[in-house]
Amino acid sequence: MKKNINFEPYINSEEKKQVVKTLHGRILSSGKTTKIFEEKISKFLNAKYVVACSSGTSALHVALIANNINQQHEVLLPSMSFIATANVVRYVGAKPVFFDCDKYFNINIIDVINFIKHETVFKNGNTINKKTKKKISCIIIAHMWGNAVNLDRLYFLCKMRNIIIIEDAAESFGSKYIQGKFKGKFCGTIGNIGCISFNGNKIITTGGGGAILCKTKKIFLKCKYYINQAKENNNKFIHNDIGYNYRLSDIQSAVGIAQINKIKKILNLKNLIYLNYKKKIKKLKNFEVYLTPDYSFNNKWMVCVKILNNKISFEKINKQLIRNQIFIRPIWFPIHLQKPYKNFQRYKIKKTYKMYKNSFCLPSYPGLKKKQIEKIVKIMDEI
């Protein structure tokens, strides 16, 4: 039986050893293993405070709650992202305002700046949307496919306008700025708060899980409080607020420890796979690999490919590759076109749907072999 070429985590005996070690310790929920995992994340990213939680979505949800975002507020966010980026805004009752993407699939910063400068007013310390009269209290920026959003100009404008920046760094663990004002800093560590995902196909995985990166002790303690059912007293079960069961188990954290211990190897393998694809696909006339920003190091989470021939569709490519047990994936369907979000405000969205139609992601898990890449590219060339 042929092996499927898919999107797999990079797992070996180390994960098993860490899990067995945790099982022998008899504490499987919010024990010392999770604390060790949080410390390792903190050390690698140089993040002051880290809260491990059940998913990237729960991280975003709690990030909004901890910053008091509610139904009185609006949140600026990209249409090009996984739908969880918008769902969490609705969880807290706030309303999204959607923006277009740039050539790296990231939120179009120029559009956001123009919107803030020309479509809002700053009054009594608040940024107010001229159209809806609602307070814009937050922006969620998503670093897409490992591409860091260029925050140099937006960061200081948001600071002046009292707009909180939440970084959705679900796809960009290990991506780092190498130029500009934030040189040397990792995605997720620049805004007011950052959120990471450790889902099964991410750079490192815990099977399902996430983390919240906090800059202040106050926000850190609020996040810890809300992921633990807003428990005031561990012995008497006193709860003075509505909390959530968003903790990460020690079993998952054990897997995470083994994963982060080999993060440099994973990033290196991912980069080699990207370069290999780029070299081989450059010879094809109907496809090209998307470039990554020169101002940042990209973790190469996904290898995204552009279709250059409008007679070739994703469906056609997918059908041909599936016959050979190779599984590709489309990029995210634009959120502003999804049924729950069609009636919310959007600003000058022109590029997002076109990029959705003309792009797809190739298998790029760390264990992918050169021969497998050659096979994938050969089939693409025959289409």
Which two three-digit tokens encode residue 111? 């559009």
Per-residue model confidence (pLDDT) at position 3 = 59
- Look up residue 338 and give its amino acid: Q
Residue pLDDT, tens place only, 97-109: 999 999 999 999 9
Question: 62 near 246, Cβ under 8 Å?
Answer: yes
**Positive or negative CA dihedral for 187, 193, 199, 204?**
positive
Confidence bin at 14 (pLDDT 50/70/90): very high
Residue listed under structure tokens 């897409």: 144
Q: What is the mean pLDDT of residues 228-256?
A: 90
Confidence bin at 31 (pLDDT 50/70/90): confident
Instruction: Say what percent of the chain tops pLDDT 90.
Output: 90
Per-residue model confidence (pLDDT) at position 237 = 85
Three-state DSSP at 368 gives coil
Shortest CA distance to 6 belongs to which of 362, 375, 383? 362
Question: 366 near 11, Cβ under 8 Å?
Answer: no
Confidence bin at 25 (pLDDT 50/70/90): confident
Could you give the CA distance from residue 344 to residue 135 in angstroms, rounded to a whole number? Answer: 15
Alpha-helix residue ranges (DSSP H) falling in the chain: 13-25, 32-45, 56-66, 84-91, 109-118, 152-160, 217-227, 250-260, 263-281, 314-323, 352-357, 370-382
**CB-count burial class (<10 Å; 0-12, 13-18, 19+) for 250:** buried
Residue 361 has a CB neighbour count (10 Å cut-off) of 18
Residues 6+ apart with CB under 8 A from 159: none
Residue pLDDT, tens place only, 34-55: 999 999 999 999 999 999 999 9
Radius of gyration of the chain (CA): 21
Confidence bin at 167 (pLDDT 50/70/90): very high
Delimit the domains of the chain by residue range: 13-260, 263-382
Does residue 91 register a pLDDT over 60?
Answer: yes
Question: 228 near 72, Cβ under 8 Å?
Answer: no
Domains 13-260 and 263-382 agree in fold: no
152-158 long-range contacts, CB within 8 A, separation 24+: 152/180, 152/181, 152/182, 153/109, 153/113, 154/109, 154/112, 154/113, 155/181, 155/182, 155/190, 155/191, 157/113, 157/116, 157/117, 158/116
Q: Do strands 126-129 and 120-123 pair parallel, antiparallel, or not at all (unpaired)?
A: antiparallel
Domain 263-382 architecture: Alpha-Beta Complex (3.90)
Q: Summarize the chain as % helix, strand, coil (round to 5).
A: 40, 20, 40
Residue pLDDT, tens place only, 200-216: 999 999 999 999 999 99
Does residue 245 register a pLDDT over 90?
Answer: yes
Per-residue model confidence (pLDDT) at position 206 = 95
| pLDDT averaged over every residue in the chain | 94
Could you give the CA distance from residue 44 to residue 196 in angstroms, rounded to a whole number? Answer: 13
Could you give the CA distance from residue 206 to residue 11 in angstroms, rounded to a whole number? Answer: 10
Domain 13-260 architecture: 3-Layer(aba) Sandwich (3.40)
Instruction: Say what percent of the chain tops pLDDT 70.
Output: 98
Q: What angle separates helix 370-382 from helix 263-281, to the nearest 10 degrees?
A: 30
Could you give the CA distance from residue 245 to residue 252 in angstroms, rounded to a whole number? Answer: 15
Could you give the CA distance from residue 193 to residue 63 in angstroms, rounded to a whole number? Answer: 7
Per-residue model confidence (pLDDT) at position 5 = 66
Could you give the CA distance from residue 51 to residue 39 in angstroms, rounded to a whole number? Answer: 10
User: How far is C-alpha 225 from the geometric centre of its chain's CA atoms?
Assistant: 23
Could you give the CA distance from residue 167 to residue 190 in angstroms, rounded to a whole number? Answer: 8
Does residue 123 register a pLDDT over 70?
Answer: yes
Confidence bin at 1 (pLDDT 50/70/90): very low
- Look up residue 254 and give its amino acid: A
Per-residue model confidence (pLDDT) at position 284 = 95
Does residue 180 register a pLDDT over 90?
Answer: yes
Does residue 236 register a pLDDT over 90?
Answer: no
Three-state DSSP at 196 gives strand
